[in-house]
Each structure stands twice: as structure tokens, then as C-alpha cells.
Amino acid sequence: MSDHLVTAYRSLPAGFACGDGCYLWDDAGKQYLDALCGISVTSLGHSYPPLTAALQEQAASLLHTSNLYTLSVAAMARRAPVRGGRHGAGHF
């Protein structure tokens, strides 16, 4: 680890080269079930074509800005129908 990073947890001894759906592969070609998510994120799987296309389209115009600004994309997302969540409610 870098001297400039806080070591809040120890890294596991696995490193991954690619993923597809719920599976990951290391450099030696060994397959793993990806049963974890990143810190503070939800797993959406790996290499899912509709998600990949949507991310590429969005990244071509705007990838990220602070939530201190009003964004037309955020306004559109708030108006979009949301599925899931407790009692059918979603969160944005």
C-alpha cells in the first residue's frame, strides 16, 4: 500500500483480469464467483451488454459531477419509474 493511503482493511490475495456476469477470472484463468460488491456500491455484474452500452453512451457526454449542482440527467432520473425497494419504493 502507498504511504499516502489509509490501510482501513487488508487486501485479499486475489487479483482479477476480467469478469462476465457474476464470475471473475484471475490472470491464470481460474474462475471465481463474485459474491462481493465494492465498498458503498451495488454489484451490477460484469460485461452485461445493455449496461455496458448505457455506460458508454453516458460517459460520452457526462460521467460525474458533484451533487452540489443541478443536472438535467439527475432530474430525468428522478422522473423515471423506479422498481424495487421496500414496499415498491425506490431511492435515488
Region of 26 please: left (phi>0), alpha (psi -120 to 50) or beta.
beta
Dihedral over Cα of 61, 66, 72, 73: its sign: positive
Question: Any alpha helices (H) in 1-92, and if so which ranges?
Answer: 49-59, 72-79
From the DSSP assignment, how many helices (H) and strands (E) are in the chain? 2, 3
For 20-67, the pLDDT digits (tens) are 989 999 999 999 999 887 776 777 888 888 888 988 988 887 777 776
The pairing of beta strand 23-25 with beta strand 18-20? antiparallel
Q: What pLDDT does residue 8 have?
A: 77
Maximum Cα–Cα distance across the chain: 46
User: At 90, is the pLDDT very low, low, confident or very high (cuts 50, 70, 90)?
Assistant: low
Q: How far is CA 6 from CA 14, 56, 66, in A?
A: 20, 32, 24
Domain borders along the chain are 49-81
